[in-house]
């Protein structure tokens, strides 16, 4: 009987039963239309592990060539869930002060493809601190040319070839930072070093200040699931705004303007229970290159 007419498990059981009855391996394999190699594999599995060994086994490889140890994988996943980038910026802002603006590309964590106006939780936090968002146009890295040029130098001098382990690699990075900032003259800086011309910001980092909406009818707190409540109705805003307070002002019957700080986000239609976005208040804006 062909294997496909019954389940694989049933066929393997019949195959093993014939061998246990004393039939020869060659004859049974010929009857079932399989090679002797496959026949011995099935029978040896049965002898080693019993009937359970006759079920289909996972085709997943036992190991992957570049697979990380489980402990390292768990550490990476845990670190990503903690969003360590916030703590890194807190240390930077505490030490160096707040910038007027931060220029970035349109990728994570600076922007979010699924967030309102492509905002991310990080960029919302920057806005709360009074930092303007500057995003380059997608596919135009030349708009952030100084940064991209620094990356090219970094990769060339600090990662090619890479070091044997993370500790050695960090030492190489630290050495590069010191040389780039303290020792190497730059043509764009009239042959001065970055340390010669850099000065910290005069805007001190003091944490988040409360938001006040004196010219709105009311305010509303965005829940952890990205919604606000209005007249017992849930209005979807965006998960990236979770924990933020919005200003709400009625501009027409059943139509409300929603604002975040001094940015207008869009209009809320109570019947539709949605926020209708308007012109992107966080669109591409680039300050003159200094």
Average of per-residue pLDDT values in the chain: 86
In this model, does residue 99 exceed pLDDT 80? yes
Sorting pLDDT into bands at 50, 70 and 90, what band is 262?
very high
- Residue-wise pLDDT for 5-63, tens only, equals 457 778 888 888 888 888 889 988 988 888 989 888 888 888 888 877 777 666 666 66
pLDDT of residue 132: 93
pLDDT of residue 288: 57
Does residue 109 have a cis peptide bond before it, meaning omega lies within 30 degrees of 0? yes
pLDDT of residue 250: 93
pLDDT of residue 69: 80
pLDDT of residue 22: 86
Q: What is the mean pLDDT of residues 129-157?
A: 88
84 token code pair: 């360590």
* Domain extent listing, the chain: 3-54, 82-197, 218-277
Q: Could you give the 3-state DSSP secondary structure of residue 250? A: strand
pLDDT of residue 285: 62
d(CA 102, CA 147): 12
In this model, does residue 76 exceed pLDDT 80? no
Q: Are 254 and 243 in contact (CB under 8 A)?
A: no
Q: Which of 105-114, 202-211, 265-274 has the highest mean pLDDT?
A: 202-211
Q: What is the mean pLDDT of residues 99-116?
A: 89
pLDDT of residue 2: 43
Sorting pLDDT into bands at 50, 70 and 90, what band is 4?
very low
pLDDT of residue 61: 66
Q: What is the mean pLDDT of residues 67-80?
A: 75
In this model, does residue 104 exceed pLDDT 60? yes
Closest C-alpha to 135, from 237, 246, 285 = 285
Query: What is the chain's percent helix, strand, coil content, to nearest 5?
Result: 45, 15, 40
Q: What is the mean pLDDT of residues 135-146?
A: 84
Superfamily of domain 82-197: Ribonuclease H-like superfamily/Ribonuclease H (3.30.420.10)
Q: Which has more confidence, 97 or 150? A: 97
DSSP E strands: which ranges in the chain?
Answer: 101-104, 132-135, 218-221, 227-230, 233-236, 245-252, 255-260, 263-269, 274-277
Sorting pLDDT into bands at 50, 70 and 90, what band is 70?
confident
d(CA 251, CA 274): 16
Sorting pLDDT into bands at 50, 70 and 90, what band is 64?
low
Length of the chain measured in residues: 290
157 token code pair: 């001098």
Q: Name the phi and psi angles at 58, rounded to 5.
A: -60, 140
Q: What is the pTM of this model?
A: 0.68
Residue 110 is classified by DSSP as T
pLDDT of residue 98: 97
């Amino acid at each position: 009987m062909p294997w496909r007419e019954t389940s694989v498990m049933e066929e393997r059981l019949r195959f093993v039963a014939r061998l246990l009855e004393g039939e020869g391996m060659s004859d049974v394999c010929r009857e079932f239309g399989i090679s002797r190699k496959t026949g011995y594999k099935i029978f040896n599995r049965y002898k080693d592990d019993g009937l359970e060994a006759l079920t289909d086994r996972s085709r997943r490889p036992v190991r992957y060539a570049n697979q990380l140890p489980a402990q390292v994988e768990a550490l990476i996943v845990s670190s990503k869930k903690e969003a360590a980038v916030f703590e890194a910026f807190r240390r930077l802002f505490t030490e160096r002060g707040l910038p007027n603006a931060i220029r970035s590309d349109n990728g994570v964590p600076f922007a979010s493809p699924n967030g309102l106006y492509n905002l991310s939780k990080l960029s919302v936090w920057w806005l709360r601190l009074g930092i303007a968002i500057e995003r380059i146009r997608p596919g135009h890295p030349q708009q952030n040319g100084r940064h991209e040029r620094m990356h090219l130098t970094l990769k060339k001098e600090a990662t090619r070839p890479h070091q044997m382990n993370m500790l050695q690699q960090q030492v190489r990075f630290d050495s590069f930072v010191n040389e780039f900032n303290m020792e190497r003259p730059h043509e764009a800086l009239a042959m001065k070093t970055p340390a010669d011309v850099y000065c910290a910001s005069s805007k001190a980092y003091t944490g988040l200040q409360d938001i006040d909406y004196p010219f709105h009818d009311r305010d509303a707190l965005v829940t952890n699931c990205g919604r606000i409540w209005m007249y017992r109705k849930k209005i979807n805003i965006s998960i990236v705004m979770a924990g933020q307070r919005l200003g709400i002002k009625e501009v027409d019957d059943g139509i409300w303007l929603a604002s975040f700080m001094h940015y207008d986000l869009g209009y809320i239609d109570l019947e539709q229970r949605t926020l209708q976005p308007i012109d992107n208040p966080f669109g591409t804006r680039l300050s003159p290159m200094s």
